[in-house]
Amino acid sequence: QENQTTWHYPEVGGDLVRVVVSEQEIRDKLADLAAQIDRDYAGKEILLVGVLKGAAMVMSDLMRHLRSDVSMDWMAVSSYGAGTQSSGVVRILKDLDADISGRHVLVVEDIIDSGLTLSWLMETLERRQPASLEIATLLRKPDAVKVDIDVRYLGFDIPNEFVVGYGLDYAERYRQLPFVAVLAPHVYGG
Ligand code: 5GP
Ligand code: MG
Ligand code: MG
């Protein structure tokens, strides 16, 4: 039998500079966060809301640790603005399937960088009058603290470098990496 764990992806030292958060660290942290969430929402139904596509891995790995009664929904948004900086002007490409009024909504995010996308999203969701609205994010960068976003469940604060893996892409690649790593500048022509 072929060993599927050896399936290939660009290793550290090739396209990747270094691992920022390892597979084990992610697993342990998500188990901790899930335990906190289960305690905080005891007896309540949680609606997990993810933003496509980056949050796909966090969503699936976080929710498999949860013992609470959970549902899952997704939004797709596009952020207007030039280059790699997000502008805070956001358009909904795919909205939630269901009404969230009166529900306990937990937004599940991959990363908060400038925080502009998420602060727009939180305002948008708040207007729909959920019973509660909180954020769980695996990663946060230093710039995010400049925007007033109250993150209830945080995985890791990471340095201000462009990272890929665990759902995060560069030109749609590298999402499948089971860890988070810094992308080598030669990949994006740096
Ligand atoms: P923000 O609005 O907080 O600046 O950025 C939100 C989105 O930008 C994230 O959900 C993610 O898709 C993307 N992003 C921000 N920082 C990084 C990064 O270091 N690597 C990757 N691959 N995407 C990022
Ligand atoms: Mg995201
Ligand atoms: Mg992306």
Residue 84's pLDDT is 55
113 given a catalytic annotation:
yes
Cis peptide before 53 (omega within 30 of 0): yes
Give the C-alpha separation, 96 to 149, whole Å. 21
Task: Give the CA distances from residue 150 to residues 129, 145, 153, 175, 177, in Å, rounded to whole numbers and listed in that order.
Answer: 18, 9, 9, 27, 28
Say which residues have a Cβ less than 8 Å from residue 34's Cβ, sequence separation at least 6: 62, 65, 66, 67
**For a pLDDT cut of 70, what percent of the chain falls above it?**
88
Highest mean pLDDT among 11-25, 36-50, 145-159, 175-189: 36-50
Choose one of 111, 147, 151, 157 to mutate for the ligand 1 pocket test, by most ligand atoms within 8 angstroms of C-beta: 111
Class of domain 23-160: alpha beta
- pTM (2 d.p.): 0.91
User: Given strand 163-164, what is the order of strands in its sheet?
Assistant: 16-21, 180-183, 163-164
For the chain, strand residue ranges (E) read 16-21, 45-52, 69-79, 90-94, 104-112, 132-140, 153-157, 163-164, 180-183
Is the ipTM, as predicted for this complex, more than 0.90?
yes
Using one digit for the tens of pLDDT, what is the confidence trace for 92-124? 999 999 999 999 999 999 999 999 989 999 999
Distance CA 128, CA 79 (A): 21
pLDDT band at 10 (very low <50, low <70, confident <90, very high): low
DSSP 61: H
For the chain, the domains span 23-160
Residue nearest to atom 5 of ligand 1 (CA): 113
In this predicted structure, the answer to whether residue 168 has a pLDDT above a threshold of 80 is: yes
